[in-house]
């Protein structure tokens, strides 16, 4: 494809402006993996940029299950679920997830992103409204827009503002959905779910909690943020991913039978996309078994998070009540975050710099994500290195 087509001039211009603002992004190719280290170019780096929080993606049982599934069922599912892409293996994972989540029904999606799209468009449409936290994941925003409902955004975890908006506007809409991340993906903090659910119930609104960073990590048996905060049975729908702590790929919606049937019948992201690859399904099934059988992974991860925060010098009183494996070090300017990330890379640590539009302007940051398989020594030396770089006052996140 000719890069100099006149019809693409506008793209070159916008790309140059983007670059000038320090927001340009490039792929870094991982050439090899060895435990928690990856090789990028010639350099082996500790990987602090993965969402494989429990180290299950490379667990031998997970890898074997993926290969077995591919050998038995093929490299791809061959069709969408309603056509011929739904196998016994898919059904087994669905049953297992429903039991794990304690819900009547589950819908499997190709990704967590599409699971959120499918869930939201099944719940609301024109004449309705979706209330979103300002820091909600991009796929909740995309789903809300796609649904045709009015999109209202409240400041991060600000339930007073949400209450005011509901008070003013609730009557104007037919149905209302309040959709929030359970654990916020760039800040690692939790949504105030009990209060949020109280509020939604008071205004007769539905609730959706995106458990992407919490499934397998938080709560009893690793069932997520809703389970941790005791609201599992009160939220309308929970969305999870198989792509993070479950070490595979795909997403799911956990809810009532009537909702899941509605998704199967009406959500384009479900109906018109090929069913999950058997290898991903096999891997997720094995990972779910390990989440259940080995709570020590979750416990160790929480301990490492606490240790890391303590080593960073975050005062006790500023520590979050529940540790999560996402630990942001906010530095402010995008170029400063990039520079710090480069210095950490020189020291052998892959820690991503997160810039707008992923995070609001002025809140560019280093985002450390920890995995249960890392050693205490490694976590300690990372904290020391970050301390030496003096990222600034935002060290507490």
Spatial separation of the C-alpha atoms in residues 365 and 351, rounded to whole Å: 10
CB atoms within 10 A of CB 288: 24
As measured in angstroms, the least distance from the Cβ of 153 to ligand PLP is 16
Radius of gyration of the chain (CA): 21
- The reply to whether 385 belongs to the active site is no
Structure tokens at 233: 């049975």
Spatial separation of the C-alpha atoms in residues 165 and 152, rounded to whole Å: 9
Residues 129 and 149: beta-carbon distance below 8 Å: yes
Nearer to ligand PLP, 122 or 378 (CB): 122
As measured in angstroms, the least distance from the Cβ of 40 to ligand PLP is 21
b/e 226-255 (16+ beta carbons within 10 angstroms → b): bbbbebbeebbbbbbbbbbbbbbbbbbbbb
As measured in angstroms, the least distance from the Cβ of 183 to ligand PLP is 8
As measured in angstroms, the least distance from the Cβ of 113 to ligand PLP is 4
Nearer to ligand PLP, 85 or 240 (CB): 240
Of the candidates 199, 197, 191, which has an alpha carbon nearest to the alpha carbon of residue 322? 191
137, 244, 275, 369: the catalytic one is: 244
- The reply to whether 185 belongs to the active site is yes
As measured in angstroms, the least distance from the Cβ of 57 to ligand PLP is 13
185, 243, 275, 371: the catalytic one is: 185
What is the SS3 assignment for 38? strand
Shortest-Cβ-distance residue relative to ligand PLP: 112
Of the candidates 253, 250, 279, 281, which has an alpha carbon nearest to the alpha carbon of residue 266? 253
- The reply to whether 244 belongs to the active site is yes
Nearer to ligand PLP, 6 or 27 (CB): 27
- Contact residues toward ligand PLP (CB under 6 A) are 111-113, 116, 137, 139, 181, 185, 210, 212-213, 241, 243, 251
Nearer to ligand PLP, 129 or 246 (CB): 246
Nearer to ligand PLP, 100 or 113 (CB): 113
Residues designated catalytic: 185, 213, 244
């Amino acid at each position: 494809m000719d890069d100099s087509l006149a019809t693409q001039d506008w793209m070159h211009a916008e790309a140059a402006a983007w670059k000038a603002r320090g927001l340009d992004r490039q792929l870094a190719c991982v050439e090899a993996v060895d435990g928690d280290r990856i090789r990028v170019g010639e350099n082996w780096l500790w990987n602090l940029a993965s969402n494989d929080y429990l180290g299950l993606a490379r667990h031998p049982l997970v890898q074997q299950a993926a290969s077995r599934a591919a050998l038995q069922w093929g490299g791809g599912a061959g069709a969408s679920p309603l056509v011929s892409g739904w196998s016994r293996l898919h059904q087994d994972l669905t049953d297992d997830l429903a039991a794990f989540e304690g819900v009547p029904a589950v819908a499997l999606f190709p990704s967590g992103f599409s699971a959120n799209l499918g869930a939201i468009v099944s719940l609301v449409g024109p004449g309705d409204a979706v209330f979103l936290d300002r820091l909600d994941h991009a796929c909740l925003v995309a789903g809300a827009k796609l649904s045709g409902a009015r999109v209202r955004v409240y400041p991060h975890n600000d339930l007073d503002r949400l209450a005011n908006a509901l008070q003013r506007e609730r009557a104007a809409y037919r149905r209302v959905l309040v959709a929030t991340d359970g654990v916020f993906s760039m800040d690692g903090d939790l949504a105030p779910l009990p209060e949020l659910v109280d509020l939604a119930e008071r205004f007769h609104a539905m609730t959706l909690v995106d458990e992407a960073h919490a499934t397998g990590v938080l709560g009893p048996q690793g069932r997520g943020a809703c389970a941790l905060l005791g609201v599992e049975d009160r939220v309308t729908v929970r969305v999870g991913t198989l792509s993070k702590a479950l070490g595979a790929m795909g997403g799911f919606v956990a809810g009532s039978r009537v909702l899941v049937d509605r998704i199967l019948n009406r959500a384009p992201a479900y109906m018109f996309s090929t069913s999950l690859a058997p290898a991903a399904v096999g891997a997720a099934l094995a990972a779910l078994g390990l989440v259940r059988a080995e709570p020590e992974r979750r416990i160790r991860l929480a301990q490492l998070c606490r240790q890391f925060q303590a080593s960073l010098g975050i005062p006790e009183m500023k520590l979050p009540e529940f540790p999560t494996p996402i630990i942001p070090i906010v530095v402010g300017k995008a170029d400063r975050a990039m520079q710090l990330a480069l210095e950490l890379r020189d020291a052998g640590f892959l820690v991503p710099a997160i810039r707008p539009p992923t995070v609001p302007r002025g809140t560019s940051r280093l985002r450390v994500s920890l995995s249960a398989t890392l050693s205490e020594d490694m976590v300690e030396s990372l904290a020391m290195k970050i301390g030496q770089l003096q990222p600034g006052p935002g060290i507490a996140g």
